[in-house]
Structure 1
Amino acid sequence: MPNPPQAPRRALLVIDVQNEYATGALRIQYPPLADSLRNIDRAMDAAHAAGIPVVVVQQSAPPGAPLFATGSHGWELHEVVASRPRDHWLCKTLPSAFAGTGLGEWLRARAIDAVTVVGYMTHNCDDTTIKHAFDAGLRVEFLMDASGSVPYANRAGSATAEEIHRVFAVVQQSRYAAVTTTDDWIAHLAEGTAPERDSIHASHRRALAAASAPAGGATGHGRH
């Protein structure tokens, strides 16, 4: 019989869980902040219990900047993260946790081949970090209920926080990351397994099939 697939060697990346997103100028709206913080808390505790390294990432800007000004209350880590053990801390000035931080080298030195992403924001630093990790050949997981978004409006249009969060999660699952919930991820840890990501082709074909189905009909698809 073939050998079962080897469980990934994970690190948990806790992205920018800072006061700016809780009480500052970028308050997370969807999913509700209390829910995502609770799930970030659970993911960190589960990772620590499973021996998975926890990497805490902190966004920084120059003093006086409107967001994440170094030393300000908004820049400080939220208590949920600040109060929990971590294996590595890094400061970044760009969206990706890999950009200019040495994170890639830190992971390689520990033979880590998979990263699980939680934190803020889904469409900005999470998305950029996920795609950077994917391009680097890492397996990526994204906990969609341990992250969140804010609404935007600009000359290109407008979108609610729910729309932004949902659409980015769908796109990530189509190729870049296995998108799952904190409950399912913790279950995978216990079982020594990993959630699966989808493909662009399958995601597109499934959407076409749903669009062409008779009104009131149902199209089934597997759980991912």
Structure 2
Amino acid sequence: MASIKREQILESIAFCEKNGYFEKLNDIYSTLPKGDCAGCGNCCMESVGINLIEFLNIYRYLAEKHELRESSIERIVDYYFMELMKKNSCPFRDENNRCLIYEVRPLNCRLFGHWKKDDYNANLSRVIEQNMNYKDDMKNLYGVDISDEVLNFSIKYCEKFKPEKNYLSKKERLSFEDEIMNLDARILGSELIDISYRDRGIVEYFIESLMYSNFAYKIKIRITKEKNIDVINKIKRILLNK
């Protein structure tokens, strides 16, 4: 699979700006319920799933902040290539547990804490089961052992967060997702960007914007098997000098 070409990203951003899609995205965000967050940063420990319009929104935001973009690329590369060996925090969480892209943070971040506890724990159980299956697949296909630190890590239900009103049902949460997916469908319908429609985390989106994804994945497997993290620093130097 090829990378997401920069020209396609910029053309898609221009298309969204022309049609007011970023404003529509912000309108959706503005309808989300509010809550009281303790700011502990415990939830900011994964490559959270995002939509295409959200990736374009974050990409546009970083394009105007050169230093933040460069430091983010370094952390994104670390997260992606060390993902099977070490549990890193979200590349956009700083040392003080603050979100570096808070203004444009994606839907999943905004909804965290609004889940009903039973729904959250049921979903967490499914994720843990998937991780175990993934471990077996990686061992059988590539001879790769995922570290226990990564395999056993999970983001527990947040007891500290208090919603302003009520916790959201699954139906209510998915209604926001559906609205954003409708924006994705319009962007993909423009055929300005050559990208398959599938679930991606924020790290994966940015890696695909920097490198050929199949090539990146092969390097990731090799780094994990050989525990050769020196390669990661070489990759960062190459990407930042593009």
Question: Scaled by the length of structure 1, what TM-score is found?
Answer: 0.31
Return the structure number with greater helix share. Answer: 2
Question: Scaled by the length of structure 2, what TM-score is found?
Answer: 0.30
Higher relative contact order (CA 8 A, sep 6+): 2
